[in-house]
């Protein structure tokens, strides 16, 4: 069985879609299914797919291009993770194939055989699934990269991990650089579609588009991150997180996680009080060991790291 997978990516999109589709692709392979990545972002993703030994076929961000690519690879199913494709058009173009959508908002037509939303807030969204459509909704279906190991982090914060997405259309990086403490080591991750901030303190170690974030997650004691896909990987690793809101698509996750006490939310980057609120939240997390322990435990209770395998098993059943 062959499953084609298309994930949106680029300067205005980031890498969250690619990260979860990569996690699913690796899970599909473990379940005896051949994944083929339909890459519309060009050479920026080739090294990423190659590092995971994933087959890649270049295409464009269009229904016609995806239809042609799916036919070329001989896929029996297409997994799509994109805001830029017309879902009804894709359904018509891929008639005869099983169509699986990653969906985060429940605001677009759900013309699919399966819809996946691994958000902790999925149950609160107004999903109206078509007859016969399988809904995989909730944190049991959250995809994280393989190899994440949960561990407790007792003691003081010695190393801070900062990550805010594959792109930086709102110029968040320089604002985060302004609040970095000089009392701890800092790993500062800059995505492939973002510029390295020019105001980083000299003690900060910059990681430009790292091929693997896992070693940085493993050695960190605290994270400062946005509300995208990486946040769930931190939860699976039991790494406590101070979080910021960048895009509206992050709102359901951030509000639900904050309400459940699983993150320390520092505010939205568009807020006039953002810089002050961020500084206060980060200082609180750095100095309050009990808070860090509580955040990590509650986050990990929501995301166990096995969502990709659950989705892969469901896709295998769909194709049977």
Average pLDDT on 103-111 reads 89
**176 in a structural domain:** yes
Q: Give pLDDT, residue 45.
A: 83
**314 in a structural domain:** yes
**154 in a structural domain:** no
Does one domain contain both 121 and 183? Answer: no
**282 in a structural domain:** yes
**149 in a structural domain:** no
Does one domain contain both 261 and 166? Answer: yes
Does one domain contain both 183 and 253? Answer: yes
Q: Give pLDDT, residue 44.
A: 73
Q: pLDDT of 115-132, one tens digit each?
A: 999 999 898 899 999 999
Share of the chain above pLDDT 90, in %: 77
CATH number at residue 215: 3.40.50.2000
Q: Which residue has the higher pLDDT, 55 or 12?
A: 55
Q: How far is CA 90 from the centre of its chain?
A: 23
Q: Is residue 15 scored above 80 in pLDDT? A: no
**150 in a structural domain:** no
Q: How confident is the model at residue 143 (pLDDT cuts 50, 70, 90)?
A: very high
Beta strands 98-102; 77-81: pairing state: parallel
The beta-carbon contacts of 49-57 under 8 Å, at least 24 apart in sequence, are: 49/22, 51/211, 51/212, 52/22, 52/25, 52/26, 54/22, 54/25, 54/26, 57/4
Does one domain contain both 315 and 287? Answer: no
Tell me what the pLDDT averaged over the chain comes to.
93
Question: Poorest-confidence range of 142-146, 230-234, 238-242?
Answer: 142-146
Q: Which residue has the higher pLDDT, 15 or 73?
A: 73
Average pLDDT on 267-271 reads 96
Does one domain contain both 65 and 33? Answer: yes
Domain that holds residue 277: 159-302
**9 in a structural domain:** yes
**260 in a structural domain:** yes
Give the sheet arrangement for strand 241-245, strand by strand.
204-208, 185-190, 159-163, 222-226, 241-245, 264-268
Does one domain contain both 137 and 198? Answer: no
Q: Is residue 248 scored above 90 in pLDDT? A: no
Rounded CA separation 227/29 (Å): 28
Q: pLDDT of 35-52, one tens digit each?
A: 999 998 777 788 889 988
Give the sheet arrangement for strand 134-137, strand by strand.
55-58, 34-39, 2-7, 77-81, 98-102, 114-117, 134-137
Average pLDDT on 145-151 reads 88
CATH number at residue 7: 3.40.50.11190
pTM tops 0.85? no
Q: pLDDT of 277-304, one tens digit each?
A: 999 999 999 999 999 999 999 999 999 8
Rg (CA), the chain: 19
Where does residue 7 rank: exposed (0-12), middle (13-18), buried (19+ CB within 10 A)? Answer: buried
Average pLDDT on 220-237 reads 94
Does one domain contain both 202 and 297? Answer: yes
Does one domain contain both 60 and 184? Answer: no
Does one domain contain both 244 and 294? Answer: yes
Does one domain contain both 85 and 197? Answer: no
Instruction: Give the chain's end-to-end CA distance (angstroms, integer).
Output: 10
Average pLDDT on 2-31 reads 87
Share of the chain above pLDDT 70, in %: 98
Q: How confident is the model at residue 97 (pLDDT cuts 50, 70, 90)?
A: very high
């Amino acid at each position: 069985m062959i499953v084609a997978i298309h994930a949106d990516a680029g300067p205005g999109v980031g890498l969250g879609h690619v990260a979860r589709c990569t996690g699913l692709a690796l899970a599909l392979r473990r379940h005896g299914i051949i994944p083929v990545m339909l890459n519309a972002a060009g050479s920026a993703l080739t090294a990423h797919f190659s590092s995971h030994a994933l087959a890649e076929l270049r295409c464009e961000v269009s229904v016609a291009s995806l239809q042609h690519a799916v036919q070329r690879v001989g896929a029996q199913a297409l997994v799509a993770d994109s805001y830029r494709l017309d879902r009804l058009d894709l359904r018509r173009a891929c008639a005869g194939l099983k169509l699986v959508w990653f969906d985060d908002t429940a605001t677009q037509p759900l013309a699919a055989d399966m819809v996946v939303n691994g958000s902790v807030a999925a149950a609160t969204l107004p999903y109206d699934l078509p007859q016969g459509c399988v809904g995989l909704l909730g944190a049991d279906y959250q995809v994280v990269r393989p190899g994440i190991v949960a561990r407790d982090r007792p003691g003081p914060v010695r190393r801070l991990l900062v990550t805010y997405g594959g792109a930086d259309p709102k110029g968040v990086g320089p604002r985060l650089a302004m609040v970095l403490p000089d009392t701890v080591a800092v790993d500062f991750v800059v995505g492939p579609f973002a510029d390295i901030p020019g105001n980083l303190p000299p003690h900060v170690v910059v990681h430009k588009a790292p091929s693997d974030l896992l070693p940085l997650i493993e050695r960190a004691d605290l994270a400062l991150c946005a509300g995208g896909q990486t946040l769930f990987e931190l939860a699976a690793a039991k790494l406590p997180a101070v979080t910021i809101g960048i895009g509206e698509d992050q709102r359901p996750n951030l509000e639900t996680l904050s309400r459940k006490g699983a993150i320390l939310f520092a505010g939205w980057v568009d807020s006039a009080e953002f810089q002050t609120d961020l500084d206060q939240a980060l200082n609180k997390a750095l100095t309050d060991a009990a808070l860090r322990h509580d955040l990590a435990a509650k986050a990990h209770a929501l995301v166990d790291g096995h969502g990709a395998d659950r989705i892969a098993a469901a896709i295998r059943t769909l194709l049977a």
